[in-house]
Every structure is written in C-alpha cells, then in structure tokens.
Amino acid sequence: MIGRSGNPTLKDSTFEDSRGYGDDRYQTRMTINGTVNKAFITLVILLGSAFASWMMFFNGQEVLPLAYGGAIVGFILALIISFKPVAAPYLVPIYAVAEGMFLGALSATYEYLYNGITLQAALLTMAVFIALLMAYKTRLIKATENFKLGVVAATGGIMIMYLLSFVLGFFGITVPYLHDNSLIGIGISVVIVIVAALNLVLDFDFIESGADNGAPKYMEWYGAFGLMVTLVWLYLEIIRLLGKLRSRD
C-alpha cells in the first residue's frame, strides 16, 4: 500500500492518479528543480514558525498549547494532503507553520535540558541529508526493489511500535527500552535514525520518478511535503537519540 517510498505520504499511485486532474494541454509539468524550490520555501516557513515558538519559550511564555495544537493541526493537514494532493499548494505552507510551532516548542524544551543539543541535532540532520543526497546522485546507493521493500517494512514496524507505545501509555504500560537511556534503548534509537535516514533515499527516487513521469505542477508541493515529513521525523529521532546520550552523562 505504501508503494515506492517508505514515507506514507509518497506513493507510486499518487503520481499516477494525479494525471486525472485537468487537461494535460493546460498544465505545466513537475520538475526536480521546482520541487527543490518548494521544499526550500516550506523549510523556511517551518523554521520561521519554530523560531517564534522557541523565542516564546525562552521569554517565559506558555508554549505547551502551541506544541499540542501544532501537532494536532499538522497531523490533520498531513492526512488531508495525503488523500488530496491537489490541495498541496494551499495546505503545505499552513502545515509548515503548524509543524514549526510543535518543533520549536519541543526543541526549546530539549535545549533547556541539554544546552546546545538543538544545534547538534539540526547539523546532524543536514549532514545526513546531504550525504544521502550525494550517495543517491552518484548511485552509490540505489533504490532497488529489495531496498525499498526492506525500508518500507522497517518503517512500518517502527510506526506500529510507536502506536502500540502510545496506546499502552493510557494504561500505564511502558514499552521496554523504547524511551529509556539504557544501551539497548540507545541502540534502538540508532536503528530508528538509520531507517528514517534511508527513507530519504526512497523520497529522492520517488520525486525523480514523478518528474520523469510528467506529473502536474502542483505535485512539486506534494513532493516537497513528503520530503519535509521525512526530514522532520529524522530530526526528531536524532534529537531524541542525543537526549538519551546526554542524559547518561
């Protein structure tokens, strides 16, 4: 069901189904450069929103409602965008604002506990992104069918584990090692970071395929959205891993 990418927002059928919107004669086509530009715009909006909630936290203002509100609104918008890609040009910027509020508040909390951890997480996320992009462009890493199936299966397993942890939390039950700073817990976080990073390779391949298949122009926003989902997940997993390591000091 997930298709080419482990990212559930990016499926092969999305680009195929998008051809049914409008008359091809009046549509410009999706390009990789256009998608990169949209991803950059989305990232700038997200960072601006994150900086605003970050500053509110360190100015002593209450940001918990922003964090919860941003997470809920972001989740709802992500679902809408996933099922209605044609709405991506209008909803992705709003999604970036909501997600930025959540990330800013969460990052500020980590920064309060562990000085400098946010910059470390951001730099590591950027480094992983650049490294995998170069590896993909040079074909050092190829998104073969077996590679895709492995990453998709691992991503699905992680999502199920998180969902199970969330549900069991209502009953006071904690999934062993998932959230603690033991060596096993740190090892689990390392594996999750690797899986999140490998999803970038599938996203690069998916966006390239969309451009090659002549998807309509609005799919650039959708491709940027899918890439941003993966980057946000990767950043969250990296800052969680760093938090576990710092808490052992």
First to last CA, the chain: 43
Residue 187, pLDDT > 90, answer yes
Q: Is pLDDT above 80 for 138? A: yes
Cβ neighbours around 235 below 10 Å, total: 22
Inform me whether the pLDDT recorded for 232 exceeds 90. Answer: yes
- Nearest to residue 237, comparing CAs of 124, 131, 73, 95? 124
Beta bridge partners of 29: 216
Percent of the chain with pLDDT strictly greater than 90: 58
Name the pTM for this structure: 0.86
Give the pLDDT mean for 75-90. Answer: 92
